[in-house]
A = this chain, B = another copy of it.
Amino acid sequence: MEFASDNTSGVHPRILDAILAANAGPVASYGADPFTAAARRALADLFETEVHVTLVTTGSAANSLALSALVPPHGTVFCHGEAHINTDECGAPELFTGGAKLTPVSGRAAKITPEAIARVHRNFVRGFHQQLPAAVSITQATEFGAVYTAAEIAEIGAYCRAHGLHLHMDGARFANAVASTGARPADLTWKAGVDALSFGATKNGAMGVEAVVFFNAALAERFDFRVKRTGHVLSKGRFLGAQMAAYLADGLWLENARHANAMAARLAAGLSTLAGVRLATVPEANEVFAILPRPLHEALTASGAHYYDWPGDGPDGGGIGPDEVLVRFVCSFLTAEAEVDRLIALAGNPASEGAAR
């Protein structure tokens, strides 16, 4: 019963096969290989526009590198307080930008709105005494498993354009958001005003590859220098290219995401039938946040269910009782229906399996 994270899963066989196939013969290093070129073309096709693409191995690198191109060292980025860049990257954005600040914005389920941004933005009246508002970063799907519609992103994009801010999207789970909304990738990104996207693949079946996608090539000027100085240019870049190309080929990325989302929906449906269990928020992608009675949580954990209790105040910023625990379940491309069902059965009768171990 593995629901700890979508990154505890291994690699999809089609991506592994692509890695094997890429191994033949000598190939130019540092990304000047045909596999990376194919991945770039596939991303251009996917987004229906010219894109500037760089492949790196982690989401923290993708996000922080993108931000380093969008904001000056004396700038600030508006993002949700629970954004991954703010809570889970140990200061990589601050390092890569040369010291820019992340200014937290509030919002339900880690989503932000133009109004919420404006409530913080309007306090930036001190001129050079304060960091310069320079960008907005949103996460699609969010850290609480919510999804922005294309229209919601377009509103944020319009706010950004009106105020001279760049717009970054952390798309570590972008595939899940596309699967959830059914929207075209273009509509969720550049057509809505997104300047740069961290396009994730690792959580959704790759070994370790994320694309930094610029829709505005001017922002990517000398970007390769930025990547190199963070140690993120792999010499045998062909294996990043091969992963990304296979991930995008024949709709694998979307197929995987749909499966993970479906498993999350199945899990949420099951959990919501149980006495004492509440969904912390309606899952829109592949993550389920629930509030469990503490004894149930302890019994599940004792029975070998892998998932995390979650720090902080949850999607609503509160409402978790003293005898309750906020927890997160994540489904991946590998999650089996039977595994979901077993978890639900166990949660409905926690004594059973725990006793049997």
A interface residues (Cβ-Cβ under 8 A, vs B): 2, 4-5, 7-11, 16, 19-20, 22-30, 56-62, 64-65, 72-74, 76, 87-92, 94-96, 98-102, 104, 122-132, 202-203, 207-208, 222, 224-236, 238-239, 306, 311-312, 334
A231 surroundings in chain B (CB, below 8 A) = 56, 58, 60-62, 64-65, 89, 92, 96, 230, 232
* B224 engages A236 (CB within 8 Å): no
Assess A235 versus B23: contact at CB under 8 Å? Given A73-B98, A228-B60.
Answer: no
Residue of B nearest to A25 (CB): B10
Bound CA span A2–B25, Å: 10
A236 surroundings in chain B (CB, below 8 A) = 7, 10-11, 202, 207-208
As for how many copies of this chain the complex holds, the number is 4
Of A28, A87, A100, A230, which is in contact with the most chain B CB atoms at under 10 Å from its CB? A230
Assess A8 versus B23: contact at CB under 8 Å? Given A73-B98, A228-B129.
Answer: no
Cβ-defined partner of A126 (8 Å) among B87, B92, B208, B229: B87
Known: A16-B20, A60-B228, A104-B104. 8 other contacts (CB 8 A): A61-B231, A90-B129, A95-B98, A124-B311, A126-B311, A128-B224, A128-B233, A207-B239
List of 8 A-B pairs having minimum Cβ-Cβ separation, nearest first: A61-B231, A7-B235, A98-B98, A74-B225, A94-B99, A90-B228, A10-B23, A60-B231
Bound CA span A89–B231, Å: 7
Least CB distance from A5 to B in Å reads 6
* B122 engages A95 (CB within 8 Å): no
Bound CA span A55–B227, Å: 19
* A128 engages B227 (CB within 8 Å): yes
Cβ-defined partner of A8 (8 Å) among B2, B29, B229: B29
Assess A22 versus B10: contact at CB under 8 Å? Given A56-B231, A94-B94.
Answer: yes
What are 5 A-to-B residue pairs whose CB atoms are below 8 Å?
A11-B239, A65-B231, A96-B231, A128-B228, A129-B228
* B229 engages A73 (CB within 8 Å): yes
Bound CA span A58–B231, Å: 6
A129 surroundings in chain B (CB, below 8 A) = 30, 87-90, 228
* B230 engages A92 (CB within 8 Å): yes
Least CB distance from A95 to B in Å reads 4
Residue of B nearest to A58 (CB): B231
* B24 engages A10 (CB within 8 Å): yes
Residue of B nearest to A102 (CB): B101
